[in-house]
Amino acid sequence: MHTYYYDASFTRKDDCEHLRKNTNSNIFSIYCAGVAVECILRAYIKKFDATFDSGHDLFELAKQSQILSLLTEKERERFTIALSIVKKIWNNNLRYYSEKKMRSIISEKFIKSGEKKFNKYLEKESKKYFESTYYIIELGKSKWT
């Protein structure tokens, strides 16, 4: 079972990269990237405890995955930063969100950020989010035995 989740993580990552090529698929690409992260964490959880199911909370999944026990102090810090970035955007209900709702959420984040240039903000936050998801997935791959 854990290898299914492991493989699914990379399939979802490929799906995400495909979706990102189409600007009409923004929400689903964000959702897909988060699912890829969820899959790699579930792969680690299932490796150690086949019966466990921790819902969709990325913090709880990371905790139960024990992946942090395999990381150096610096890697843990970087992992925490990356997961924090992903968790602030992703939740399992994203799949029910309309484009309008997602735009509303992003706009509100921009307004509260105090930043001045909206397009630059969008570009920066999008890059940060997807780089963080890819980092977590690749880190999970590098530590897999």
The rounded distance, in Å, linking the Cα atoms of 79 and 55 is 20
Q: Does 68 bind other proteins (CB under 8 A)?
A: yes
CB of 11 to other proteins, least distance (A): 26
Measuring CA to CA, which residue among 121, 128, 27 is closest to residue 84?
A: 128
Q: Which amino acid is at 75?
A: E
> Which one among 23, 51, 119, 142 touches other proteins, defined by CB under 8 A?
119
Comparison of 15 and 125: residue with beta carbon closer to other proteins: 125
Helices and strands in the chain: count of H runs, count of E runs: 6, 0
- For residues 33 and 133, is the Cβ–Cβ distance under 8 A? yes
> Which one among 21, 51, 73, 145 touches other proteins, defined by CB under 8 A?
73
Which residues of this chain interact with other proteins, rule CB under 8 A? 59, 62-63, 68-69, 73, 76-77, 79-81, 83-85, 87-88, 91, 99-100, 103-104, 106-108, 110-114, 118-119
